[in-house]
Amino acid sequence: MSGVWGVGCYDDGARRVAWPVSTDEMDRDLGAGARRIGALGIGAGDRVLICSMLSEAAQHWPLIVGVMLSGAQLSCADSTAAEATRVAMFLRRLPYDAVLGVGPALLDGLEALGHDPAAVFASVRVVGAHPGASDRLRALGVPVHDVALCGPALAIAPTPGAPAAVDTDEWTLDAHDGRIVVSSLRPRAHPFVRTPTAIRGAVVDGGVVPESPSRG
């Protein structure tokens, strides 16, 4: 019997739900994490900053392992307004090739510190941002890869402007009344069947085109 990797959390749009993840599931997810990092063009010699929250570690651990397997260097920060100081410090002191997981609170924090986000991210080749941040960065001229936490499934656009894709071996997305719902395709300790998520938008080519919360 598979062990338990940990108990993470997903957001179903109404509340945050505890989510037990088995080691078998995580082992499968790790392979996908490495492929997604590769699809973003991240490899040896690169440096990647992942902005996330600890409660989202079950979704982000595969990405972290993917960074390590790629030979790139990893940095981490919370995706909160208060962590804007840390994010600005990283980007001021070292060159970064990718910053993934920029959220609206982090952008608010950067602006409150007097930073121009376009200047902060100007030299970063891959910027991945969540709904509420992606539109703001695009408006500033930053090419953005959409990132969306569709409940338990992390969606990342492989190129700016493309739908944010989940691991299609594991997850399938649909839209219901403008809200993304997620289903698991393989055995999970906690199965998902058209489970609502906090993401509003449309499903295109199996990926999600998120709607900005400010326009929702």
From 1-9, 27-35, 122-130, 202-210, span contacting other proteins (CB under 8 A): 1-9
Name the CA dihedral angle for 198, 210, 21, 7, rounded to a multiple of 10 degrees.
Answer: -40
Q: Is 111 in the site for other proteins (CB under 8 A)?
A: no
Question: Which position among 36, 40, 42, 90 is part of the footprint of other proteins (CB under 8 A)?
Answer: 90
Phi, psi torsion values for 85, nearest 5 degrees: -60, -45
Q: Is 68 in the site for other proteins (CB under 8 A)?
A: yes
Signed CA dihedral, 80, 178, 211, 65: sign only: positive
Closest approach of Cβ 43 to other proteins, in Å? 13
Question: Which position among 2, 18, 159, 214 is part of the footprint of other proteins (CB under 8 A)?
Answer: 18
Q: Is 58 in the site for other proteins (CB under 8 A)?
A: yes
Q: Is 5 in the site for other proteins (CB under 8 A)?
A: yes
Length of the chain equals 216
Burial of 104 (0-12, 13-18, 19+ CB in 10 A): buried
Alpha-carbon Rg for the chain in angstroms: 16
Q: What is the largest CA-CA distance in the chain?
A: 53
Q: Is 86 in the site for other proteins (CB under 8 A)?
A: yes
Contact residues toward other proteins (CB under 8 A) are 4-9, 16, 18, 45, 47, 50, 52-55, 57-58, 61, 64, 68, 73-78, 80-83, 85-86, 89-90, 93-94
